Amino acid sequence: MESAAEVGDSWVFTRLSEELTRSRWSGQPPWDALHALADELGLPELDDFADIMRLSGEEGASVYTNLRARSAAMRTAMLNDEIAEANAVGERMTIPGSLLGVIFMALLVAPSVLRMFSNT
């Protein structure tokens, strides 16, 4: 996990690397450090990752399939959130579209109505 955290140079990777290094030097399991960081930053996804890594470290569970399944679930959840947001924006656009249609129809009908009233 430490080598994976050292890949990036953003503040997130730096923070993960610091926490993992601190846990190594203090003798604390890395998943406990990740749990503490997840609680501090309010990241439930990091907490799930720490649980997966704990299962791997303590029980020898397969990490790859668990991480792939969790990432697929996260992508699906993010996609559903984006679709819901797009639908909400689309629903808000129906009123301006309808108003534009009414104005266009009024422009088409106005000459006929004015001619009808001017002839009488």
Task: Spell out the residues 6+ positions from residue 5 whose beta carbon is closer than 8 angstroms to its own.
Answer: 13, 16, 17, 20
For residue 29, what are the domain limits?
1-61
User: Alpha-carbon distance 62 to 9, whole Å?
Assistant: 28
Would you state the pLDDT for residue 16?
87
Could you give the number of structural domains in the chain? Answer: 1
What's the mean per-residue pLDDT of the chain?
87
In a domain, 107, yes or no: no
74 and 56 Cβ atoms separated by less than 8 Å:
no
pLDDT winner (highest mean) among 7-16, 26-35, 66-75, 104-113: 104-113
User: What are 47-104's pLDDT values in tens digits?
Assistant: 888 888 888 777 766 788 888 888 899 999 999 999 999 999 888 888 888 999 999 9
Residue 3 lies in a domain: yes
In the chain, count H helices and then E strands. 6, 0
Closest CA to 67 of 76, 78, 56: 56
